[in-house]
């Protein structure tokens, strides 16, 4: 289960939008579910016409013509279908005929509105006579994305944001809705300072609530991070999750060097530099889509977050090994393992979804890797499918809450709950216990997640080591990798074999990696 790479294509577009009160993001500095969101999606049959649910659905726009309409359609779909924002937005932009500038605006509106939902609803609730719960979903999303422009974007004239919102309301609804939208947004303009997030945060009594209101996060999540990492770090994590994510590639060492990749990107108008974190990484500083390049098409690189790149490097695969990647789709870590093995040996890439087997195979073919064998199966049953002690290396990139990738998928902070984390941790425990017996003596088991929750990470591994005394943490990571991590400040003091990367460390995804060695008898 690789980290989300789809969001990288929108990073360059989104970086163009300047937000009020935020400094331009610098390279390598602090940085886009299954439960229904508390997003007021229910309709009320008895609601009044002015913003309430109508007896018939409002006319839908077949093909959104403006950046704001594209953003509105995407936001409605994300909440209605509980879909990942990056996938919905990428699809919407592919079908919309927008200029590059308008595509950038639509991207900023979608991610910004999702990120700042708590702050936006806090302000809008003060202006809605009957509250937000009875608004139709599209009306609520229109108000949110318009309020986001008024409160957080300083390059968009207020009158343009209000007028376009009213025009959209007229096209989609009726005069009562457009009048309500006009009135609420103009009232927000008059009370902008009073309803700004910082004003709300200053009146909060609890530290967790203050940080939650300032950065727009659920209070329970902030409180959890304060307990795990301290108040200062929790605020830095929240700030990092609201910043545009880096766009980065992992260079295929079998086909190119980082220097060659940077030169090829420059020919496509993309400025890039070596990653300070991953010895295999290159970070785009400005330019176009990394996927729409000859280097991507001919397999010289893969789009992957810097943190995600570290997993295969920490695993230390070698040529001739027999390797199992338990939750492999879409194949980012699988193919990295194969590259590090020099395409010599056997890498079995398992995923529970049959259609994802094709994704892994396509990745391997594009990169010229013939040692990858994609299979379909439940990771919980791998211990029954394969003989015990049959793999030199087993990678479990476990299903997780995804709390480390909020910058790429901001809807995650509204879709997850503490109950979800408990359920996911139980699944993780079952999976790691199930594959522990597949590792050969003196072989390695690597556990990774793209979350920063301790119950899914270090506490999970601590319990595993208690239950499996035949395993111990393995601190023998590649010297080049440890040097990069120390230089970036991610590793301090004695290294134990487990690494927790936070989003605020150097602008990449939050990730956990633990390498375990099985003792010989």
Closest CA to 511 of 305, 326, 244: 305
Residue 332 marked ligand-binding: yes
Confidence (pLDDT) at 62:
57
CB-based contact 44:52 (threshold 8 Å): yes
pLDDT digits (tens, 9 = 90+) for 377-404: 999 999 899 999 999 999 999 999 999 9
Residue 351 marked ligand-binding: yes
Residue 378 marked ligand-binding: yes
CB-based contact 314:515 (threshold 8 Å): yes
314 vs 333: CA distance, rounded Å = 11
CA atoms within 13 A on the CB side of 363: 28
70 vs 326: CA distance, rounded Å = 37
Buried (b) or exposed (e) across 433-461, using 16+ Cβ within 10 A?
A: ebbbbbbbeebbbbbbbbbbbbbbbbebb
Residue 371 marked ligand-binding: no
Residue 330 marked ligand-binding: yes
Confidence (pLDDT) at 276:
87
Check the CA dihedral 178-179-185-189 and report its sign. Answer: positive
User: Which of 238, 326, 400, 450 is an active site residue?
Assistant: 450
**Percent of the chain surpassing pLDDT 90:** 77
From residue 439, alpha-carbon distances to 110, 379, 391, 432 in Å are 44, 15, 5, 11
Measured in residues, the chain has a length of 521
Q: Give yes or no for residue 61 having a pLDDT over 80.
A: no
Axis crossing angle, helix 85-95 with helix 100-115, rounded to the nearest 10: 160
Cis amide leading into 330 (omega within 30) = yes
Position 78 confidence tier, pLDDT thresholds 50, 70, 90 = very high
251 vs 235: CA distance, rounded Å = 33
pLDDT digits (tens, 9 = 90+) for 2-38: 443 333 444 444 444 433 333 333 333 323 333 333 3
CB-based contact 24:285 (threshold 8 Å): no
326 as an active site residue: the answer is no
Confidence (pLDDT) at 500:
96
pLDDT digits (tens, 9 = 90+) for 459-505: 999 999 999 999 999 999 999 889 888 887 788 889 999 999 999 98
CA atoms within 13 A on the CB side of 175: 0
Confidence (pLDDT) at 115:
97
pLDDT digits (tens, 9 = 90+) for 345-380: 999 999 999 999 999 999 999 999 999 999 999 999
From residue 440, alpha-carbon distances to 19, 222, 325, 444 in Å are 53, 41, 15, 8
CB-based contact 420:369 (threshold 8 Å): no
CB-based contact 508:307 (threshold 8 Å): yes
The answer for 134, left when phi > 0, alpha when psi is -120 to 50, beta otherwise, is alpha
H runs (alpha helix) in 318-451: 332-340, 354-366, 382-385, 412-415, 418-435
Average pLDDT (238-257) is 96
Beta strand 391-397 with 439-449 is: parallel
């Amino acid at each position: 289960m690789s980290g989300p790479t789809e969001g990288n294509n929108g990073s360059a577009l989104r970086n163009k939008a300047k937000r009020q009160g935020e400094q331009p993001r610098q390279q390598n500095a602090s940085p886009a579910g299954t439960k229904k969101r508390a997003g007021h999606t229910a309709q009320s049959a008895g609601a009044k016409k002015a913003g309430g649910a109508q007896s018939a659905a409002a006319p839908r726009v077949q093909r959104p013509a403006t950046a704001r309409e594209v953003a509105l359609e995407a936001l409605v779909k994300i909440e209605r279908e509980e879909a990942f924002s990056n996938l919905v937005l990428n699809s919407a932009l592919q079908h919309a005929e927008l200029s590059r500038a308008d595509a950038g605006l639509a991207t900023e509106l979608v991610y910004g509105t999702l990120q700042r939902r708590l702050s936006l609803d806090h302000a809008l609730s003060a202006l809605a006579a009957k509250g937000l719960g009875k608004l139709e979903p599209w009306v609520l999303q229109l108000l949110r994305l318009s309020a986001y422009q008024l409160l957080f974007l300083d390059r968009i004239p207020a009158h343009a944001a209000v007028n376009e919102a009213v025009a959209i309301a007229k096209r989609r609804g009726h005069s009562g809705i457009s009048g309500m939208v006009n009135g609420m947004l103009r009232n927000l303009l008059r009370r902008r300072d009073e309803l700004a997030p910082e004003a709300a945060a200053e009146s909060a009594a609890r530290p967790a609530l203050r940080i939650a209101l300032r950065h727009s996060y659920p209070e329970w999540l902030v409180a959890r991070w304060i307990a795990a990492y301290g108040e200062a770090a929790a605020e830095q994590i929240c700030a990092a999750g609201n910043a545009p994510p880096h766009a980065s590639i992992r260079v295929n060492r079998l086909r190119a060097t980082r220097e060659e990749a940077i030169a090829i990107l420059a020919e496509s108008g993309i400025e890039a530099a070596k990653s300070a974190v991953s010895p295999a990484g290159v970070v785009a500083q400005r330019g176009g889509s990394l996927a729409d390049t000859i280097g991507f098409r001919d397999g010289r690189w893969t789009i992957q977050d810097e943190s995600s790149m570290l997993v295969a490097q920490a695993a230390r695969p070698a040529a001739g090994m027999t390797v199992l990647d338990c939750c492999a789709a879409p194949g980012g870590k699988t193919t990295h393992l194969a590259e590090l093995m020099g395409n010599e040996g056997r890498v079995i890439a398992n995923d529970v979804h049959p259609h994802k087997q094709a994704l892994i195979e396509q990745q391997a073919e594009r990169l010229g890797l013939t040692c990858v064998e994609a299979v379909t199966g439940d990771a919980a049953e791998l211990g029954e499918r394969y003989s015990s002690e049959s793999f030199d290396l087993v990678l479990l990139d476990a299903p997780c809450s995804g709390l480390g990738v909020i910058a790429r998928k901001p809807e995650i902070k509204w879709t997850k709950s503490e109950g979800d984390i408990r359920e996911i941790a139980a699944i993780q425990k079952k999976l790691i216990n199930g594959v522990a017996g597949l590792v050969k003596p003196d072989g390695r088991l690597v556990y990774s997640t793209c979350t920063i929750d301790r119950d899914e990470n270090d506490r999970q591994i601590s319990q595993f080591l208690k239950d499996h005394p035949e395993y111990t943490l393995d601190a023998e990571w590649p010297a080049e990798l440890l040097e990069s991590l120390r230089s970036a400040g991610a590793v301090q003091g004695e290294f134990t074999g487990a690494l927790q990367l936070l989003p605020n460390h150097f602008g990449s995804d939050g990730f956990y990696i633990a390498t375990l060695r099985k003792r010989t008898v």
